Amino acid sequence: MKTMTLNIRGRLLDLSTPKVMGIVNVTPDSFYASGRTPDPEAVERRILQLRDEGADIVDIGGCSTRPGAEDVTPEEEYSRLSVALEAINRLWHEVPVSVDTYRADVARRCVEEWGVDIINDVGGGTLDPDMWKTVAELRVAYVLMHMRGTPSTMQTFTDYDDVTAEVITDLSRKVYELRGLGVNDIIIDPGFGFAKTVEQNFILLEELDEFCKMGMPVLAGLSRKSMIWRTLGITPEESLEGTVALNAIALQKGASLLRAHDVKAAKEVVKLHMCMEKARKAIRES
């Protein structure tokens, strides 16, 4: 298998060891209450925590996409993001930064005014028709996530005959269009929890290696998702152990990136996974 790399605005990020994308939610209503950073002091504490725990990428969101979340104007979303981007530039300027937005204008401002490296688009280009053209013009890496409908309607669009095949078909078509626009660095995200039932999420995880065959880095966003806490009958706050378990499976299936609230735990999973990979290699060569 060839070594996977990601071009981060001229810097090659080697993904032969999977990387952890630490989450900063600059929102008052994220589904995981302990992950919210609604004021500048909380944002700074969160960024320093991610730095100390060894996050490889920081992913900042200013607009919750959970069902029933508050509708946020583009101006308010950008204002929230700016708080975190200013703090990152001041406290940890060398870390690659991703912005979680489905709005092209917000993406453009974040890249042009703050030097953001990656646009993480939960809409996969479906929520703003200008997003792909904007990403192509900005020449930044792009997380292409699968979702149907909108965050408020997505759970009414879970009618798949074969969820893995249909999600891959949809993403493959979009990759083809993105390549035609000149977008070179694409990260594939199956969209766990977005227009998927709990059962469909587990099918996608079991077949995550099929997404890896697309030849692009695959991101697993499983952290404290409802597929964990609904299955176990607990809350998002109690879902760390379940997240660790599913992250380990995602790595075994070939994920190159883990999006995580709990960076320290995710980094430990990566380290143990790499020890197992080393052991497997030694066995093969013996």
Tell me, what's the pLDDT at 35?
58
Q: What is the tens place of the pLDDT at every residue in 185-217? A: 999 999 999 999 999 999 999 999 999 999 999
pLDDT band at 258 (very low <50, low <70, confident <90, very high): very high
pLDDT the model gives residue 37? 72
pLDDT in tens, 130-169: 999 999 999 999 999 999 988 888 888 899 999 999 999 9
Mean pLDDT of 51-66: 93
Upper half-sphere CA count for residue 79 (Cβ side, 13 Å) = 7
Stronger pLDDT, 273 or 32, i.e. the higher one? 273
Exposure string for 257-278, b = 16+ CB within 10 A, e = fewer: bbbbbbbbbbbbbbeebeeeee
Report the pLDDT averaged over residues 171-176.
98
Tens digit of each residue's pLDDT (9 = 90 or more) over 94-105: 999 999 999 999
Structure confidence at residue 155 (pLDDT): 84
74-87 pLDDT, tens digit each: 999 999 999 999 99
Q: Give me the CATH code for the 15-285 domain, please.
A: 3.20.20.20
pLDDT, tens digit, for every residue of 5-20? Answer: 999 988 999 999 999 9
What rounded mean pLDDT belongs to the chain? 94
Position 1 scores a pLDDT of: 47
What residues act catalytically? 225, 259
Per residue, what are the HEC states of the chain?
CCCCEEEECCEEEECCCCEEEEEEECCCCCCCHHHECCCHHHHHHHHHHHHHHCCCEEEEECCCCCCCCCCCCHHHHHHHHHHHHHHHHHHCCCCCEEEECCCHHHHHHHHHHHCCCEEEECCCCCCCCCHHHHHHHHCCEEEEECCCCCCCCHHHCCCCCCHHHHHHHHHHHHHHHHHHHCCCCEEEECCCCCCCCHHHHHHHHHCHHHHHCCCCCEEECCCCCHHHHHHHCCCHHHCHHHHHHHHHHHHHCCCCEEEECCHHHHHHHHHHHHHHHHHHHHHHHC
pLDDT at 32: 53
Per-residue pLDDT, 64: 81
Which of 1-5, 83-87, 277-281 bottoms out in mean pLDDT, i.e. has the lowest?
1-5
Position 278 pLDDT exceeds 50 = yes
